[in-house]
């Protein structure tokens, strides 16, 4: 070590300066290679984690906002939504309501089909299409009014009509929807039929 220091002392001032500069360059290179790069890498990882946390926070906030909106919507119409024990019971109840309205107003249903159910946030929207009906215009208006004013949230969303065989008769099709919440065990018990009472007539079949 002493020999090394002696050799340094014997160097000319210009050589000592160059050696010092070389040492500084090597030290700077090592700092950049092992220290600065490591710090930059950690900062990038931290930035990435912060961005991910921000995205997750925004997603949670959107979910909370959607939950709040859904709750407000449900509070507004929740009491009016019909509950059923199964999808089959829901669509059967809807068909019964439609057939009953047709019977009361004089609208003749020639064909009716079930369409694809539309999922909603807190219930399902069932869809029926009367593919062909015949009625006088006043009976058609009465049917639509009866359906739309019913408490069970059954609605007529589309009506297509063409002139019928007579002046007052029209024929056509219509689309109806109804929101139902399927809850297991929510089916209402059917009232008992007194002895000697004939059974009610069944609904018309498609």
Q: Establish if 178 belongs to a structural domain.
A: yes
Do 168 and 91 fall within a single domain? yes
Among 45, 78, 111, identify where a domain stops. Answer: 78
Q: What is the reported pTM?
A: 0.50
Q: Are residues 32 and 106 in the same domain?
A: no
190 — pLDDT class (breaks 50, 70, 90): very low
Q: What is the CA radius of gyration of the chain?
A: 39
Give the pLDDT score at 193. 40
Same domain, 18 and 98: no
- Each residue's pLDDT tens digit, 105-155: 999 999 999 998 888 776 788 899 999 999 999 999 999 999 888 777 788
Total domains in the fold of the chain:
2
C-beta neighbour count of 65 within 10 angstroms: 10
Helix (H) or strand (E) holding 173: strand 169-182
Query: Residue 24 falls within a domain, yes or no?
Result: yes
> CATH code at 99?
3.30.70.60
Range of the domain at 92: 81-182
- At 140-149, the pLDDT tens digits run 999 999 988 8
């Amino acid at each position: 070590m002493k020999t090394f220091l002696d050799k340094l002392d014997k160097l000319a001032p210009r050589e000592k300066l160059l050696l010092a500069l070389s040492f500084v360059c090597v030290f700077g290179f090592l700092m950049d290679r092992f220290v600065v790069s490591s710090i930059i890498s950690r900062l990038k990882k931290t930035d990435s984690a912060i961005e991910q946390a921000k995205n997750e926070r925004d997603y949670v906030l959107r979910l909370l906002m959607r939950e709040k909106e859904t709750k407000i919507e449900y509070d507004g119409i929740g009491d009016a939504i019909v509950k059923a024990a199964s999808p089959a019971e829901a669509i059967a109840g809807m068909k019964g309501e439609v057939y009953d309205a047709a019977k009361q107003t004089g609208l003749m249903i020639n064909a009716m089909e079930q369409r694809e159910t539309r999922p909603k946030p807190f219930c399902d929207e069932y869809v029926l299409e009367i593919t062909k009906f015949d009625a006088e215009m006043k009976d058609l208006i009465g049917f639509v009014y009866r359906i739309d004013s019913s408490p069970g949230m059954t609605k007529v969303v589309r009506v297509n009509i063409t002139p019928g065989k007579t002046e007052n008769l029209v024929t056509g099709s219509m689309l109806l929807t109804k929101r139902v919440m399927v809850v297991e065990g929510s089916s209402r018990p059917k009232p008992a039929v007194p002895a000697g009472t004939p059974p009610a007539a069944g609904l018309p079949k498609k």
